[in-house]
Each structure stands twice: as structure tokens, then as C-alpha cells.
Structure 1
Amino acid sequence: IREDIEKNYKKKNINDRERAILITSLLYAMDKIAKTCGHYDAYRKGAEFDKPLELLVPLAEMHNNPNNRCYNEDANNLVGSINADLVYIDPPYNSRQYCDAYHLLENVARWEKPEVFGVARKMDRTKLKSKYCTKSAAEAFEDLVGNITSKYILLSYNNMAEKGNDRSNAKISDEDILRILENKGTVKVFSESYKPFTTGKSDISENEERLFLCTVTN
């Protein structure tokens, strides 16, 4: 199906928008029948595909928020060219790379046909890795915030800190978050209890999702 979409696009039987809608439909359809636990880092062994692949047409509203812009690039590179009233930041919290969990959908969307390997059939994801999942997370966050031009900065970040196993622990400490944001302005923190996702190997209590609101003054 994905190859057919690409062939029709190259033949100019469909335009950019139609190609995007068809790929979106395919990704949703794949996820509906996938035998996974919500991601593609691993698959359920012995599971049978008992549902048909059904492509539905997404409800793409042509006149909804016509001034919206969608960018597909590194936020740290993009932020210097944008002025905004409010910048919302929702980076990865821990060492689990999104590209490891959603490599299959990424591969189908890009359709570059790279070599894949391993049981989960993953491609080389080196260029897709996020610094926010590494020891460089605080440094990347400081660079991002330092280049923001806006009235407000709103950061979403939980309070995992070092509650779970090493892969689940937060990569940016509260001290670093507050230090970096307070260099831009005044900060208020809003929090709400939230049940964490766990595979059953961790007993995480008092988990909170938090919003750090920075009113920019510098």
C-alpha cells in the first residue's frame, strides 16, 4: 500500500496533500491492528492478525486555523527563527528514545527503505536520537530556552527524578529546570497527580505531571 501511494505521487496522480492524507490513514490503520503493547519496541509473540487493515479518510478540516504552521525539524535549530506569545515545550523525560518505540511508523512515513535488523526490524536511528534522552538533556534544554523569543514559556515535565529504574528516571533535574527558566523570567509550577505507565517492574508512587510557567522578563 505504501509503495502504491509513492508510485501514484511520483506519477502526479495525487498531490502533496493527498499523499499526506493517505499516509496518515495508513499509519492509523496499521496501529489499529498491530500486535504490540502500544509501541513497536517489541511485539507479542505468537499473536495472529485477526483484523483487516482498514483505511479510513481522516477528517482534514481545510479551514480550521489556516495560519497554523507545522515544522519537522530539530526544535533547538528551529526556535531561533520563531517569535511567539507562548512556547510550549514537552520534551522526552527519560532515556527511552521515541524513535526506538515508533521506528516502524517512522519508517513507513519516510519510506526511505533502509536496511533493517533484529527481531523488531529496526533501522539505523542514529540521526533520529534526541539529546533530551541523554546526559546532555540539561545542556540541550538550556540552549533551547536561551534562544526562545516569547512572552511565556510553558514546560511539561514530570517528577520522576530517580524514582524508577535508570531508564525511567528524569534526565533534567528540578534544580536545572528552575535555574534555566529563572534566567528568562519568573516561574510558577502547577502539578497534578498522574498514574504512571509501567510494565509492572516498577512501583512508582506520588507521580505528578507538572507545568512550569515562565513569564519572560529577560
Structure 2
Amino acid sequence: MTGDLILYTNPMSRGRIVRWMLEEAGASYETRVLDYGTTMKAPDYLKINPMGKVPAIVHKGVVVTETAAICAYLADVYAEAGLAPAIGDPLRGAYFRWLFYAAGPYEASFGDRAMGIEVPADKRAMVGYGCFADVMNTVEAAVSQGPYILGETFSAADVYLGSQIGFGLQFGMTEARPAFTAYWQRLAARPAYVRATALDDALMPKTA
């Protein structure tokens, strides 16, 4: 039943990533849209996510927050959708590697860049991502190995990392390197992404 899985989101948030993941999984789910500063900080929602942020899901009473964790969780729950290599599959290691690289070094590097923080060369060993150029070169090499991050196999790692790359390209935070643009064009053409985008776009505030 739809009520078994609830997505808490806002169309101007990383909730878009989770909706795409849900559409790839073929899941039935209920959407609850929260507003920044009001319902996201309300006592009822803070019981779900004390950070007062979206996205979050509640699946049969199980609360999962943090976008990468939600993607990994859904990939396992909806294993029939083939969004995560099975245990024993040699690709499983690379799947976790890139999913968590995107949630760790990649996101941290972009957060610092957005705030105008440049890590001094003599301090790079103290920062998980080293420097922004290293991150960009690492990801470029990874997405150049095949149509997807695991080569021929599409996975939840593409949903998460691909969303980050697409966001960066849209807002000029990522260099429009050919490997990035080609990778994102492949992902953005997926029917599940198109469906998810249409659903979230319909929830965007109406402008006069």
C-alpha cells in the first residue's frame, strides 16, 4: 500500500534525488511536501528528522534520512529493480565506493567551493577531498569508463552522483567537460528521471 512508504520532501531540495530513485524502483509511495522554516521545523517532523531537513522516508515504520543512505536502502528493498549489485557481485564494491564518494568528498568539495573556501596546498592532507581539481579529475575518469559509473550497469550510484553532476552543470558549479555533459544527458533521458522531474516541477511555487 502507498501508505507503507512516505517521502518527505520539497521540490527545491535533494528530495528530487530520492523521488527519482523511487521512480526507478517502481515504488508506490505517498508524498508529503514540507516548507522551509515552518513544517520542516515542526515538532511532528523533528521526531522523524531532528535536523529539520528533507528528504526523509518512512518505510513500514523505518525512518531513513540522508540522501545517499535512502538511495542505498531503497535499492536493497526494491532489489528486483536491479539498482544495486547483489552481494557477491564484483561490482558491489565499486557501487558502494562511488555512492559514498559522492556523499563524502564530492559533496564536501562543492560545499566549500560554494562558500568560497579554498584549501591551502599545505593543508590538503587534512581534508578528505584534497582539492577541488582532484575531485573533478577523479569523477571525470570514473564516468568515462562506460555509459554508467559501473560500466554497462545503471545503479543507485548513478542516481546520486549523476544528480550532483547535473545540479553542478545546471548552476555552473561544475565545468562542462564533455564526459560530464555526455554522462548527464544519458541519465536525464531516462524515463524515471523524466517522470520524477515532472512530478517535482508541478510542486514548484507558482510565480506571478
TM-score of the aligned structures, taking structure 1 as reference length = 0.26
Q: Looking at CA atoms only, which structure, 1 or 2, has the larger radius of gyration?
A: 1
- Which has more strand, going by share of residues? 1
- Which has more helix, going by share of residues? 2
Which protein has greater RCO, CA pairs closer than 8 Å, 6+ apart?
2
TM-score of the aligned structures, taking structure 2 as reference length = 0.27
